[in-house]
Amino acid sequence: MSLTESKRQAAYKAVDTHLNSETRIIGIGSGSTIVFVIERIVQRGNFKKNDELNEKNENSDQKLEELDLDQCVFIPTSFQSRQLIIHNGLNLGEIDQYQEIDITIDGADEVDENLNAIKGGGACHLREKVVAEISKKFIIVADYTKRSTVLGEKWVKGIPIEVIPFCYALAYNSLKLLGCQKLNLRMAKNKAGPVITDNGNFVIDAYFGKLDGQQSLGNDNFMFINSPSEVLKRIKLLTGVVEVGLFVGMAEIAYFGEEDGCSVGVLKK
């Protein structure tokens, strides 16, 4: 079964388990898995009209309720998720309108056994972190390739770090001094020059291994982050750094679509 199906299964499970008729303010993460979160939300909004969904539900243990989408507001974390919300006719809200969000569902590039995550493979981690931070519940959805024991096992491109453009050379040097083994200023495709985030900044992918005292196991393609909170703190203190794609202790639960494309694994705190 394809990775796409496993992403869909994880997304559907999260929406079916955590969204009910009481849910009002919903944070929408970014990336390819989030597309299926929106797909399921729209299906749930048309529940009574959706014969297939009703039929499936009669045979399932999970009691699905129709979502009153007119009463819900969706908070995007990127240009991409904003477009998804608008194109699906959902109510769009802005991050600064709310002090609290009922629930946010988001993808991840890697999730460890403590539910710490690397995010920002799509350069959206600043807004994603703001939304996650004010959410009562932060839920991760991903395919099975994203689950690991220690961060760095699976996502080998480095930790995404958003930096102010004119500070990038300084941040670059500071990251090297911090022990960073390899650094890349993320470059755009089909445009000469660097990726520019939704906030007008650059992204450096920083690749550790020794920062928290660990060796890189003799393989330059790997980094292991045994103390993500320490790594996060040290990078965050560097001048010019806006946000780090390490989400430590934020997620309550993670759903992973399994390899068979039908079942879903769950990691809980």
Ligand X SMILES: O=C[C@H](O)[C@H](O)[C@H](O)COP(=O)(O)O
* Site residues, ligand X (CB under 6 A): 29-33, 106-109, 119-125, 128
What is the β-pairing status of strands 159-163 and 241-244?
Answer: antiparallel
Q: How far is the CB of 188 from ligand X (least distance, A)?
A: 15
Q: Name the residue number minimizing CB distance to ligand X.
A: 31
CB of 26 within 8 A of CB of 68?
A: no
Nearer to ligand X, 154 or 210 (CB): 154
Q: How far is the CB of 265 from ligand X (least distance, A)?
A: 16
Annotated catalytic residues are: 128
Nearer to ligand X, 53 or 104 (CB): 104
Nearer to ligand X, 16 or 106 (CB): 106
Q: Please give the Cα distance from 9 to 141 (Å, whole number).
A: 9
Residue with tokens 């919903």: 26
CB of 33 within 8 A of CB of 13?
A: no
Q: How far is the CB of 30 from ligand X (least distance, A)?
A: 5
Nearer to ligand X, 53 or 117 (CB): 117
One-letter identity of residue 72: C
How is residue 147 annotated by DSSP? B
Residue with tokens 């989030």: 34
* 150: helix, strand or coil: coil
> First vs last Cα of the chain: how many Å apart?
28
What is the β-pairing status of strands 25-28 and 101-106?
Answer: parallel
CB of 222 within 8 A of CB of 158?
A: no
Nearer to ligand X, 155 or 172 (CB): 155
Residue with tokens 């990336």: 31
Q: How far is the CB of 32 from ligand X (least distance, A)?
A: 3
Nearest CA-CA partner of 158 in 189, 183, 193: 183
* 177: helix, strand or coil: helix
